Structure 1
Amino acid sequence: MAKSGSDHAKLIDVQLDESIGRSTPDVEHERAVAIFDLIEENSFAPVNDAGSGPYRLKLSLIDARLVFAISRENGEDVVTHILSLTPFRRIVKDYFMICESYYDAIRSSTPSHIEAIDMGRRGLHNEGSQTLMDRLAGKVEIDFDTARRLFTLVYVLHWRG
């Protein structure tokens, strides 16, 4: 596992390719926040990389697949991994619905109802994070907190506002 806090096993930049497309100002803001949070704290190391980081990540979408193009700080290519988004469809759809319920509940529900929805929301977020870790296993070493931040980014890539 990549050592948390290491200056070498981490992302220093995350870019979204033009293939991701742009969306509403709210969605763009959420994407920027997700990227900021990911860069701020992460543990990220391509498996079997003979060199060392820190790393840059460029995300793009090609034929319903998420492309992770990983390079070094100086721009030298390290590796590209392509992940099918199919395993995330149900989770992202359910997560979207529960987030909508959560935001509606904040306006009109009791604290206990809001807490119950939030527990479900966190559970789905954890499931998406674990799925992402599983899909990256043997490709990129990340810790669970980094997987959570990456899943947030995967989610906001799907969200159209």
Structure 2
Amino acid sequence: MVQAAAVAPVPVPVSTEVYQRLQHFYARQMQSSDDLDVPAWAGSFTEDGVFATNAFPEPITGRAAIAAHCDRAFAAQAAAGIVRRHVMTMLTAEHAAGDGERIHTRSYVMVLETRRGQKPTIYCSTLCEDVLVPVDGGWQVVRREVRRDDL
């Protein structure tokens, strides 16, 4: 007897209303990073949230560790007179069957960088994949995977 292959759950796109709420969440989150607002940016992750990227040797786990990393990175950026702007495009958002209330998103994020007295340049181009959960009428990131295209 031939055994049937396992079928992967089919993702279901979120509603237009949820998609709009996600757009607002990401606009506020990206702007908090650009504004060097550590409490707001780190606060957009769950207490046990994970930030993983191919730019770091290991993922950063936990909101406190994410905040500590951002404190150092944002301070260095400010001291160097660097302004960064995150430009998010091509956002997709789906419910994954069997994954409760979690939302899976995928987007492209271009990071522009301007040094004092210079023209803006592209710092990096990335693919960002998140798992989000609803919290108090908003969203928090459970896990973020950022893949820089240049690495």
- Which of 1 and 2 has greater Rg? 2
- Larger relative helix fraction: 1
TM-score of the two chains, using structure 1 as the length reference: 0.31
Higher relative contact order (CA 8 A, sep 6+): 1
- Larger relative strand fraction: 2
